[in-house]
Structure 1
Amino acid sequence: MKLYIAEKPSLARAIAAALPKPQKKHKTHIELGNGDVVSWCIGHILTQANPEDYDAELKKWRLDTLPIIPDQWQLKPIYQTRAQLTALRKLVKQASEIIHAGDPDREGQLLIDEVIDYLKVSQQKKQSMKRLLISDLNLPAVKRALANLKDNRDFMPLSISALARSRADWLYGINLTRAYTIHGQQSGFNSVLSVGRVQTPVLGLVVRREQEIANFVSKPFYQVFAHLITNNNEAFTAKWQPSENCQQYCDEEGRVLVKGLAENVISRITNQPAFVENVVTEDKHQTAPLPFNLSSLQISAAKQFSMNAKLVLDVCQALYEKHKLITYPRSDCRYLPKEQHKQAAGILNMLSSSTLAAKPLTIAQQASQADASLISKAWNNSKVGAHHAIIPTEKSANNINLNPFEKNIYSLIVRQYLIQFYPAYQYQQTKVAIRIAGGLFSANNKVELALGWQKLFPASKKEQHSQQQVNLPKLKKGDELHCQSGELVSKETSPPQSFTDASLLSAMTGISRYVSDPDIRKVLKDTDGLGTEATRANIIELLFKRNFLKRQGKKIIATDIGIALIKALPIAATLPDMTAQWEAKLGEISEKSASYASFMQPLTTTVSEMITAANQQDFSALPKVAFKPKSKRIRKRKTF
């Protein structure tokens, strides 16, 4: 008997629909017409054991018991899903072959693998296990996946990476939450100081941003523009570019801070001859951006529809599991396998009859103008891991009653897929360098030649304004012009902006921007940043639930408790450097270029050092609150 183990019931039903009939549906599994069985987990049905499961003495939080580092790691059944685990225990004994059908990511890989290990499945069965990778729940896609089973052993590095991350979260969260909570209680803050390897650096980002805003002092800066005229009385404007000798009067962004310097330039250039020093005109093209992964979709939805990350993820799950309109949504990949291009014509044909509205073109109009023969940079097998970018399936949405959120997200995914079948955006860019009284001035111009994929995107007000600007006159090197006058424009430096849903997600995915060490920054540029595609939304929501963050309109700011917590913690716990490096190492484990031990051994040392460092921290700034014992809830709280 073959046993298919899916990650959740919805996936199990999709698999069973593609397998022999007639079928008998039971509470815990589906019996197929040929005697095979499809069963399922219900997400994670096992969890890391609590400290007191290792030793009853560890139930009480005491500094002298830290750090807690298990000699032999233990899992235990989640109470609500014990019946399903019992059913799987019986089924794996009966099975002659097991097919792993977890979601196509490292968490999905571990979720089934850990059940197999916990149930002590024989080594022989483990060696013969197959891996079923499904990212589209529609029948044709499931059948294609069933015909292309892999060897589950090939995916063990993914499982080991997820296991290392799970244990690291436990070690870091359990130990540091206990250490800092105890110190906080000793200073009068009688509540839990939750610390996690991802949540705390995210909170630190927000706290530091608000501190920068509070401490910001606006400074005036000055720009100089030359109003020029050609021999044919064609007028245009060029901007002064301060020389290297002027940098002592500029800030780090090259903005002039001394008004007298700008006024001196104006007096020197007014009513003076000007000479064209160089003209560079280039035809350029910009190819379509890649299809979405989850983070890029969440960022886009936050910008366009003000949807928070958790809402976008929930909507995506509904579009994937309930409506079967999109492929697997918790993807960190923005590329597609070349094999998928064979389904492009069918998807485009389906979308060309869509009744869903969109701007500036309806989905039907977008699809009817697409060219299925085009192959964009998105189709790249070398960039695709266990899962690919989020794209629409071959199923039509015409007869499905989508809510407004679902329509918006589906439309975004469809458009990002359709632009892969549009030509490049083409434009001509001209850059002119002009010398006036020894000073260098520049003028730029951009002329659109072909909209290409950009015709699917409504122009912003800024873009509409730039399109209304007068083009530069025809100029060539050596032309003599006349500077009629100089113009001084005074501006004020602006404080950094508070985080929003979009910018906080962007910060988490592009965390290298917030790392000061250049060596670490270089390493982090190629990593996924803080958290994973599947966890970022929950991490942000967790910080709101714990009253560490709050919203002010679209702004995300830290609460007084969140600010006090970051001030009380050692700086290493609040910076993204360490946890982002962990993500890089976990990625290396999944790619077989690093080992489990090379990650876990240094981690245990780091945790011990941070517990010791807690003795030196000042917790006096924490508010004094009455203690409300919630020991059971505390033990079950996520601390990643």
Structure 2
Amino acid sequence: MKLYIAEKPSLGRAIADVLPKPHKKHDGYIEVANGDCVTWCIGHLLEQAAPEDYDPKYKKWQMAHLPIVPEHWQFKAKPKTKKQLSIVKKLVKQADSLVHAGDPDREGQLLVDEVLQEAKLSERKKQSTQRLLISDLNPSAVKKALNQMRANQEFVPLSVSALARARADWLYGMNLTRAYTLVGQKAGFQGVLSVGRVQTPVLGLVVRRDMEIDNFVSKPFFEVLAHVRKNDGSEFSAKWKPSEACQPYMDEEGRVLVKALAENVAARIHAQDAQVKKIEAKPKKHNPPLPYNLSALQIDANKRFGMSAKQVLDVCQALYEKHKLITYPRSDNRYIPAGHFAEASQVLGAALNNQGLTEEKVNDANLSLKSKCWNDAKVEAHHAIIPTAKKLKTAQLGQYELQVYQLISTQYLAQFYPAYRYTETRVELEIAGGVFVAKAEQIVELGFKRLFKTEEKKQVILPRLELGELLHCFKGEVIEKHTQPPSHFTEATLLSAMTGIARFVANTEIKKVLKETDGLGTEATRAGIIDLLFKRGFLQRNGKSIRSTELGVALIKTLPEDVSLPDRTALWESQLAKIAMKEQPYQTFMNPLEKEIAGFIERACVSDSTLFTGLKSSRAGSKPSFSKKRSRKRASTKSSRRKSAA
């Protein structure tokens, strides 16, 4: 008997649907006509053991116990899914061969591998286990995947990487959460102060942005415009480009801070000749944006519809599992296998049928165009989020589902539209010895931009000019502006910051490394991390803006700075990626981490707790846990209040 082990029931059913019929439905699995079986996990069936599972003394939180570092790591069955774990283990023992059908990512790999480990596979079964990678739940795609199975042994490094992450999160979050909760208790704070390798640097981003805004002092700066006229009466404006001699009167961004200097320039150019010194006209183009990965989709959905990252992820899961209208949604990839190009007509036909696209936009597409998204070399375990070829018989989508589906469909359609082309013109004038610059963009072809609703940018049109031509400056004008503080984070800009975390790092070497990684968190976890910070009372919403609370500020100010900066925590992802690529062993990641945590505990013992005086905990803030996908009911138990969060 061949046993297929899926990550979740919906995936299990999708696999069974293409296997020989008739089927027999049993408790926790499906038996197909040839005797093979399909079973499933329900998310993680196993979880990291709690500290008190290693030693009952750890039930009481005490600084003297820290750091807690298990000598032999333990998993334990999750109470709610214990029955399904027993079913899977029993079927594993009965099976002649196994197929691992976890989701096509690091977490999906570990999720099934840890069950196989728990079942104590024989070496023969371990070596013969196959890996099934499914990113589209429609029957044709599942059949195709079944014909392209690989050896599960190929994915061992990916599983080790996920295991290293899970254990590192446990060590880091459990120890630092206990340590700083005990620090807070010194000041009478009654809640749990959770610390995590990703959530804390994300909170740090928001706190530092809020502090920067609070401390910002606006200052005026001045620009000079030369209003110029040709002999034929046509007019345009050019902006003064200050010379090096003006630097003492400018800030680091090249803005003139002295009004008298600007007024002097404006007076000098009045009623003077303006000579054309340079004309540069460059053809430019923007290629269509790549299809979505999850973060890019969450950012656009927040900007367009005000949807939270978690709402977008939940909607995507429904579009993938329930409706089967999109491919695997937790993808961090924005490229598509070249083989999918041949399916474009069916995919666009389905998107049109399902109201994801309009007939006019589909008809204007050129299916012979091949954008740079079709690239096998850049596709790994999963590809970009795109529509599937499934057609709905009736309108079945809710408002948010339809909006997200339309975004995904339009981004896919853009791959069959030409580039946006325009001419960028730059003219340099000399007036009374000063340099003035005028710029203009002229649209040549809208291309893919026809698909997107964007604010129409007012086109600056320059008259026809000749090199050396003399014009007349009939007016010099001083424009007073004021420096603006940075904006508060929104969900979209915070997600963007998490994915492009290198922008917030000063160290050039670390910045270089981070540009090659996925940033803080993963596509699958970012929405949950932001949501968690709200639930724990560290962040609050003010309209679309995200602000830190007093509690969030107090925690960041009390923690060592390097705990709340993205540098080290984002580098974790780089090291985990190296483990997955067999470029770094597990121990070279874990051993230094254990020493580092011991150092953090020592610093916690002598930290100042006074910032927590008088602060109250939020209801959710007192119930952190390391377990994934826990129920609300279990979250409220006394034991879970004693667990801390990654």
Counterpart residue identity of residue 107, structure 2:
E
Aligned counterpart, 1:380: 375
Q: Residue deviations 1:259-317, cap 9 Å, x none?
A: 11111111221111111111111122211010000000000000000000000000000
Find the counterpart in structure 2 of residue 7 from structure 1: 7
- 2: CA distance, partners of 1:510 / 1:135: 25
- Alpha-carbon distance, 1:239 to partner: 0.6
Q: Deviations over 1:88-127 (max 9, x none)?
A: 1110111111000000111001100111011111121111
Q: Percent identity?
A: 56
Kept after mapping to 1: 8 A contact 2:187/2:613: no
Q: Within 5 Å, give how 1:7-26 maps onto structure 2.
A: 7-26=7-26
Distance 2:68 2:190 in 1: 22
- Is this contact kept in 2: 1:263–1:488, CA < 8 A? yes
1:129-168 to structure 2, matched below 5 A, reads 129-168=129-168
**Distance in 1 (alpha carbons) for counterparts of 2:500 and 2:150:** 33
Which of residues 435, 457, 460 in structure 2 aligns to 1:440? 435
Q: Which residue of 2 aligns with 1:304?
A: 304
Q: Which residue of 1 aligns with 2:389?
A: 394
Q: Report what 1:359 is aligned to.
A: none
Per-residue Cα deviation, 1:430-477 (whole angstroms, up to 9, x for no partner): 11111212221111111111111111012315x2xx13x4x1011232
The corresponding residue for 2:484 is 494
Of the structure 1 ranges 342-351 and 102-111, higher mean CA displacement relative to structure 2 is found in 342-351
- Whether 1:534 and 2:524 are equivalent positions in the alignment is yes
User: What amino acid maps onto 1:477 in structure 2?
Assistant: L
Find the aligned partners of 2:139 and 2:544 in 1 and give their Cα distance. 41
Structure 1 residue 128, shift from structure 2 partner? 0.7
> Which one of the candidate residues 505, 513, 516 is aligned to 1:523?
513
What letter is aligned with 2:517?
Answer: T
Residue in structure 1 matched with residue 543 of structure 2 by the alignment: 553
Map of 1:632 onto structure 2:
639
Name whichever of 242-251 and 37-46 sits farther off: 242-251
Counting only pairs closer than 5 Å after superposition, residues 583-598 of structure 1 correspond to structure 2 as 583-598=573-588
Kindly provide the CA deviation profile for residues 330-359 of structure 1, in whole angstroms up to 9, marking residues without a partner as x.
Answer: 000011111111211221233344445xxx
What displacement does 1:190 show?
A: 2.5
Matches within 5 A, 1:271-286: 271-286=271-286
CA deviation after TM superposition for structure 1 residue 400, in Å: 3.6
Q: Which residue of 515, 537, 558 maps to 1:568? A: 558
| Structure 2 residue identity aligned to 1:505 | L
Shift in CA distance, 264/626, structure 1 to aligned 2, threshold 3 Å: closer
Is the contact made by 2:93 and 2:119 (CA closer than 8 Å) also made in structure 1? no
Give secondary structure in 1 for the equivalent of 2:107.
helix
For 1:457, the equivalent position in structure 2 comes to: 452
Shift of the alpha carbon at 1:606? 1.4
Match of 1:270 in 2: 270
User: Partners of 2:367 and 2:95 in 1: how far apart?
Assistant: 44
Q: Which residue of 2 aligns with 1:110?
A: 110
Query: How does the TM-score come out when normalised to structure 2?
Result: 0.95
Distance 1:472 1:233 in 2: 13
Does the 8 A contact of 1:313 with 1:537 survive in 2?
Answer: yes
Determine if contact 1:363/1:415 at 8 Å carries over to the other structure. Answer: no
1:352–1:366 CA contact under 8 A, matched in 2 = no
Letter in 1 for 2:396: N
Instruction: Give the structure 1 partner of residue 30 of structure 2.
Output: 30
Counterpart of 2:634? none
1:210 aligns with 2:210: yes
Aligned residue pairs total 629
8 Å CA contact 1:351–1:367 kept in 2: the answer is no
Corresponding residue SS for 2:481: strand
Aligned to 1:119: 119
Structure 2 contact 551–615 (Cα < 8 Å) conserved: no
TM-score, structure 1 normalization: 0.96
Deviation string 1:195-224 (CA, Å, 9 cap, x unpaired) is 001111111111111111111111111111
- The question of 1:426 aligning with 2:416 is answered no
Aligned partner of 2:238 in structure 1 is: 238
Question: What is the root-mean-square deviation of aligned Cα atoms in Å?
Answer: 1.5
The alpha-carbon deviation at position 256 of structure 1 amounts to 1.2
User: Which whole-Å deviations, capped at 9, do the CAs of 1:501-556 have from their partners, x for residues lacking one?
Assistant: 10111111111111122221121112111111000000011111111111111111
| Matched residue, 1:58 | 58
Change (3 A) 1:626 1:485: closer
CA offsets 1:209-251 (integer angstroms, 9 cap, x no match): 1111111111111111001112322211001112222222222
Question: C-alpha displacement at 1:636, in angstroms?
Answer: 4.5
Alignment-derived partner of residue 173 in structure 1: 173
Gaps of 5+ in 1: 357-361
Is the Cα contact below 8 Å between 1:219 and 1:493 reproduced in 2? yes
SS at match of 1:621: helix
Determine the C-alpha separation between the residues in 2 that align with 1:536 and 1:139: 30
Say whether the 8 Å CA contact 1:281–1:429 is kept in structure 2.
yes
CA distance in 1 between counterparts of 2:614 and 2:75 reads 37
